Amino acid sequence: MHTALITGASRGIGAAIAAALAPTHTLVLAGRPSPALQQTAERLGATTLPLDVTDTDAIPSTTAAIGELDVLVHNAGVFLPGPVAESTVEDWRTTFDVNVVGAVAVTLALLPALRRAGGQVVFVNSGTGRKASATMASYSASKFALRAFADSLRESEPDLRVTTVYPGRVDTDMQRALVSFEGGEYDASKFLKPETVAAAVAQAVATPPDGHLHEVVLRPRG
């Protein structure tokens, strides 16, 4: 069975992706140790990998035992809402450290394993990675940067498949925080379900080997 490593898999979209890939892949759920991560792993029969994407010095040794990797899913991310004028340099640094530098560090550490398997890297991006949002300045910028990294990886590693998924607004804890920040009333029916995004990721991974799906743009209906 192929192996998939997923970051940010303790809940929300990441946990849904893990569930979607569980029937076809041996799962490694990477993240900071937490009860939620452990519960997801136990439910799916997965292995956990203690991994802090901001501790870039530790990532190579943490992932060193992975000899081959068929699928790497980048889902870990942080969101600090606010327009440019209300943001701080520390907001930008924190957002980029997690959303961009962390993804780069994990990819570089696992690149030999991905090459051996002729594997696939999936980036869970955002609608704000295609169209910037006034209320999510640092987050939007980080997602544009992540998009550029994925494009560069695809061009420089032709033996790998690199797919970016751009979901619209999804019913997650992050979405609840955004709606609260905006002063709105939360209505889950207006947003994509995490399982819907996970199904799109699973379909991308299941693309026959002669195909290379570069991008998936997914939006709520209506």
173: pLDDT strictly greater than 80: no
C-alpha span between 26 and 5 (Å, rounded): 9
pLDDT digits 0-9 by tens, 77-117: 998 888 899 999 999 999 999 999 999 999 999 999 999 99
Do the domain assignments include residue 138?
Answer: yes
C-alpha span between 14 and 198 (Å, rounded): 8
pLDDT digits 0-9 by tens, 36-61: 999 999 999 999 999 999 999 999 99
141: pLDDT strictly greater than 70: yes
Contacts of 82 (CB under 8 A, 6+ apart): 91, 135, 136, 137, 138, 181
Do the domain assignments include residue 202?
Answer: yes
pLDDT digits 0-9 by tens, 8-28: 998 899 999 999 999 999 999
Kindly state the DSSP code that residue 86 receives in the 8-state scheme. G
Do the domain assignments include residue 157?
Answer: yes
Give the pLDDT mean for 180-185.
73
pLDDT digits 0-9 by tens, 154-168: 999 999 999 999 998
Predicted structure pTM score: 0.94
Share of the chain above pLDDT 70, in %: 97
Residue 87's φ and ψ, nearest 5 degrees, are -90, 165
Give the pLDDT mean for 111-131.
96
Residue located via tokens 């040794």: 61
Do the domain assignments include residue 55?
Answer: yes
Residue 28: give its domain's CATH number: 3.40.50.720
C-alpha span between 215 and 203 (Å, rounded): 12
- Per the structure, the count of domains in the chain is 1
Do the domain assignments include residue 134?
Answer: yes
Q: Which residues are registered as beta bridge partners of 121? A: 72, 162
Do the domain assignments include residue 171?
Answer: yes
Identified catalytic residue from 80, 103, 110, 139: 139
C-alpha span between 199 and 154 (Å, rounded): 22
| Whether 139 is catalytic | yes
Range of the domain at 209: 2-217
Do the domain assignments include residue 222?
Answer: no
Do the domain assignments include residue 123?
Answer: yes
CB 12 within 8 A of CB 174: yes
179: pLDDT strictly greater than 70: no
pLDDT digits 0-9 by tens, 199-218: 999 999 999 999 999 999 99
Residue type, 170: V
134: pLDDT strictly greater than 90: no
Q: Quickly state the pLDDT bin for 130 (edges 50, 70, 90).
A: very high
